[in-house]
A and B are shown apart, each in its own frame.
Chain A
Amino acid sequence: MTQTKSDLPQGTLDLLILKVVALGPVHGYAIAQRLDQVSRGVVQVPQGSLYPALHRLENRGLLTADWKATETGREAKFYRLTRTGRAKLETETAGWLRLAEAVGLILKLSEGDAS
């Protein structure tokens, strides 16, 4: 099943990363997979965008990270939200949903609608 891949603006990618990480500590590869699976293939983050985004969010204090062993025995860098990150996720989500609703309303306008 082919879907058109969406190119995400940076702010949107950041928001989606924060959301996935909010669900529990997770490493970069798992974040990419989760985004792909949940969005049914629409959101496929180029991995070259994912890691700079993660490092940017960590640098800004929205994420923090620890190295932990995985089931395979190898160590991976697990990210989790900071308190600031959680607050940011809430405000950005509310803003995004408000915007999406507004865009939807405008797009549903048809000719002859009262201005």
Chain B
Amino acid sequence: MSWWHRLFNRRKQDEELEKELRFHLEQHTSDLVAEGYSPEEAARRARVALGGQDQVKEMCRDARGTRWIWDLGRDLRYGVRVLAKQPGFTAVAALALAL
């Protein structure tokens, strides 16, 4: 994905990251089963090796580097929504634009 795709496609990115980590777990689990571990033990070991998934996902999001822009965008949208709910906002905005 190009950088601007990454900026606007956060949900898709999160889904892809989830899919990527899941694939890794499955591969590792099946390799451990091939080494002789039971499926449950293999799955457990693979999970331990990967570490806390939430933490890994957090670090990947940080690594994307677009995070601050996403947060800014969300803050801006929130700000606009709050302002728009206040009575007289539209009138003031229209007046300001007309000047």
Asked if chains A and B come from one complex, the reply is yes
Q: Given the known A-B contacts A48-B51, A77-B20, are A55 and B63 also in contact in the complex, defined by CB atoms under 8 Å?
A: yes
Q: Check if A59 sits within 8 Å of B65, measured CB to CB.
A: yes
Q: How many cross-chain pairs have Cβ atoms below 8 Å apart between A and B?
A: 58
Q: Check if A55 sits within 8 Å of B23, measured CB to CB.
A: no
Residues from chain A with Cβ under 8 Å of B49 in the complex: 47
A105-B65 Cα distance, complex, nearest whole Å: 39
Q: How many residues of A contact B (CB 8 A)?
A: 17
CB contact between A52 and one of B50, B60, B66 (< 8 Å): that residue: B60
Please report A residues at the B interface, Cβ cutoff 8 Å.
Answer: 27-29, 46-48, 51-53, 55-56, 59, 67, 74-77
23 A-B contacts (beta carbon < 8 Å) = A29-B24, A29-B27, A47-B51, A48-B50, A48-B51, A48-B52, A48-B55, A51-B17, A51-B21, A51-B24, A51-B56, A52-B59, A53-B63, A55-B64, A56-B63, A56-B64, A59-B63, A59-B64, A59-B65, A59-B66, A74-B26, A75-B19, A77-B20
